[in-house]
């Protein structure tokens, strides 16, 4: 989002660590092309892919093409010219082993400096597993690659409160906070960004958005996909770390925040969202958390036979603010579940009086945040016909149909923000500390054993009790 405080640099060099990995291929590379095609990249840019594999520039360029094709993205019209802007550096990069990166980066900077007369921005994008953040960060510091640079860290930024603190201390030694962009791509989703406009620009929603009208909030992200192609990453993280302490907590912050002083001021937006994270009660593993593991997970190559890693998590989170006191936030996600969906549901209180007993479904406000996004109202209406009977109807607003704009994919939205320096949708160390603090009990001796569930199901039955007296709005 362009604001008075943001600035489009003359040129940028993007250094993509993990350039041959799954995340880069599926998300980051297509997003970079999208940012270019949407005119949100400076005219002059270079991309340097870095990864362990030993490839030459041409082979990496072919890999970029293949990754775009795999994701169903067409090549940009000016691709023949763009190809030459892409370089590759293979091998290890760390404080002890700089490899060729410093030289290749210096050459790219010099080229752009010559062309535009200004110092280019350098955007280091760490699309790598959490264990690689520290060595790369040390390397950037040791080889003076941080001047005029911003560094984007993927999630999870740390794997526990302790490792988060260690990483953050190191990052603060090497970088100034305004250089650090901790990404959580769920915050970049169009419909997640819509939430505060929906609330703060519509009294209809704004007035209902609190415990006075809402009995329960559900943030539900079932996934039907497998983890077979990223078993090593998954085995090291699991559902709770991969999705709960990261994406689902951040979305909860976005749903539950107080009105920021100024929606265009990144500092007020971040402060409002992260005040919510600081108000999270630490999870109660016994009462409020159900973990699951789909049957067959341990047969996947690379997963130990006795793995107790969770591929599913359902949690009841309590937020200690005046607005949300006593309202459970039900968060759920898992792999190999029945469907893929991403949905926030505010379950509204029943009306007063005898009518309440006749309603079949609670009324709801839903925000679907997968794809282009939808806002849905689940409301009670008269059943058409001669009798006075009640039915639940759904009014659906497809955000893709909203005139006047075109959505950006989440990564494109956030990369474009990092280039111009808009931090509104990035997380701070304080916010992540609060998230890891709330998550801490789940990493201790009270962590419940994951319950088995059938692939293609809605996960362990045990999770039903978390939603009582209602039910999970999706599925069962």
When the beta carbons of 179 and 413 are compared against ligand BG6, the nearer one is: 413
When the beta carbons of 280 and 312 are compared against ligand BG6, the nearer one is: 312
- The label of the residue with tokens 């790598």 reads 128
* Rounded least distance, CB 351 to ligand BG6, Å: 35
Q: What would the two tokens of residue 285 be? A: 């593993």
Residue 27 and residue 411 in contact, taking contact as beta carbons nearer than 8 Å = yes
445-462 per-residue burial string, b: 16 or more CB within 10 A, e: under 16: eebeebbebeeebbbbee
Q: Determine which helix (DSSP H) or strand (DSSP E) holds 217, and give its type and residue range.
A: strand 214-222
Sheet containing 86-90: order of strands: 86-90, 44-51, 11-17, 121-126, 149-153, 180-182
Residue 238 and residue 310 in contact, taking contact as beta carbons nearer than 8 Å = yes
Q: Which residue among 7, 124, 247, 281 is the active-site one? A: 247
Residues found near ligand BG6 in the complex (CB under 6 A): 223, 242
Length of the chain: 476
When the beta carbons of 225 and 396 are compared against ligand BG6, the nearer one is: 225
By beta carbon distance, the residue nearest ligand BG6 is 242
* Rounded least distance, CB 474 to ligand BG6, Å: 15
Residue 442 and residue 285 in contact, taking contact as beta carbons nearer than 8 Å = yes
When the beta carbons of 28 and 257 are compared against ligand BG6, the nearer one is: 28
Residue 450 and residue 293 in contact, taking contact as beta carbons nearer than 8 Å = yes
Longest CA–CA separation in the chain, Å: 81
Q: What would the two tokens of residue 267 be? A: 């500092």
* Rounded least distance, CB 396 to ligand BG6, Å: 20
When the beta carbons of 188 and 378 are compared against ligand BG6, the nearer one is: 188
Does residue 156 have a cis bond before it (omega within 30 degrees)? yes
* Rounded least distance, CB 454 to ligand BG6, Å: 20
247 is catalytic: yes
When the beta carbons of 302 and 351 are compared against ligand BG6, the nearer one is: 302
When the beta carbons of 170 and 236 are compared against ligand BG6, the nearer one is: 236
Inter-CA distances, 19 with 3, 48, 156, 196, 284, Å: 31, 9, 18, 34, 39
Gyration radius (Cα) of the chain, Å: 23
Q: What would the two tokens of residue 314 be? A: 């359902």
88/244 Cα distance (integer angstroms): 34
386/404 Cα distance (integer angstroms): 42
* Rounded least distance, CB 354 to ligand BG6, Å: 43
* Rounded least distance, CB 427 to ligand BG6, Å: 13
User: Which residues are annotated as catalytic?
Assistant: 247
């Amino acid at each position: 989002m362009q604001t008075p405080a943001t600035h489009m640099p003359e040129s940028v060099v993007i250094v993509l660590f993990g350039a041959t990995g799954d995340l880069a291929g599926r998300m980051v590379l297509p997003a970079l092309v999208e940012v270019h095609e949407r005119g949100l990249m400076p005219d002059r840019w270079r991309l340097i892919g870095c990864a362990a594999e030993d490839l030459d520039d041409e082979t990496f360029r072919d890999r970029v093409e293949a990754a775009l094709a795999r994701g169903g993205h067409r090549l940009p019209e000016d691709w023949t010219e763009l190809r030459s802007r892409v370089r590759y550096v293979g091998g290890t990069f760390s404080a002890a082993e700089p490899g060729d990166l410093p030289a290749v980066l210096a050459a790219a900077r010099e080229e752009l400096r010559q062309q535009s007369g200004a110092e280019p921005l350098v955007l280091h994008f760490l699309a790598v597993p959490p264990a690689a953040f520290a060595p790369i960060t040390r390397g950037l510091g040791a080889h003076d690659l941080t001047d005029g640079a911003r560094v984007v860290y993927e999630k999870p930024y740390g794997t526990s409160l302790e490792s988060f603190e260690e990483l953050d201390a190191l990052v603060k030694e090497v970088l100034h906070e305004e250089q650090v962009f901790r990404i959580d791509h769920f915050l970049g989703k169009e419909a997640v960004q819509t939430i505060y406009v929906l609330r703060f620009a519509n009294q209809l929603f704004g007035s209902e958005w609190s415990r006075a009208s809402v009995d329960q909030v559900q943030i539900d992200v079932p996934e039907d996909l497998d983890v077979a192609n990223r078993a090593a990453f998954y085995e090291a993280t699991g559902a709770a770390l991969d999705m709960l302490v990261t994406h689902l907590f951040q979305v909860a912050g976005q749903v539950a925040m107080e009105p920021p002083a100024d929606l265009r001021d990144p500092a007020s937006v971040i402060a409002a969202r992260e005040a919510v994270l600081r108000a999270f009660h630490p999870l109660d593993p016994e009462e409020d958390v159900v973990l699951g593991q789909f049957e067959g997970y341990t047969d996947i190559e690379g997963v130990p036979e006795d793995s107790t890693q969770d591929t599913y998590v359902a949690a009841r989170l309590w937020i200690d603010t005046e607005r949300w006191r006593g309202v459970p936030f039900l968060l759920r996600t898992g792999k190999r579940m029945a469907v893929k969906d991403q949905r926030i549901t505010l379950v509204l209180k029943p009306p007063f009086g005898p009518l309440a007993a006749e309603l079949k479904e609670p009324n709801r406000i839903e925000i679907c945040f997968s794809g282009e996004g939808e806002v849905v109202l689940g409301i009670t209406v008269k059943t058409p016909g001669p009798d006075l009977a009640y039915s639940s109807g759904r009014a659906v607003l497809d955000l893709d149909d909203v005139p006047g704009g075109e959505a950006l994919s989440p990564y494109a939205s956030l990369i474009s923000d990092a280039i111009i320096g808009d931090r509104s949708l990035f997380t701070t160390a304080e916010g992540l500390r609060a998230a890891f603090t709330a998550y801490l009990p789940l990493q201790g001796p009270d962590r419940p054993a994951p319950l088995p569930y059938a692939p293609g199901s809605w996960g362990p039955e045990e999770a039903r009790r978390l939603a009582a007296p209602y039910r999970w709005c999706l599925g069962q």
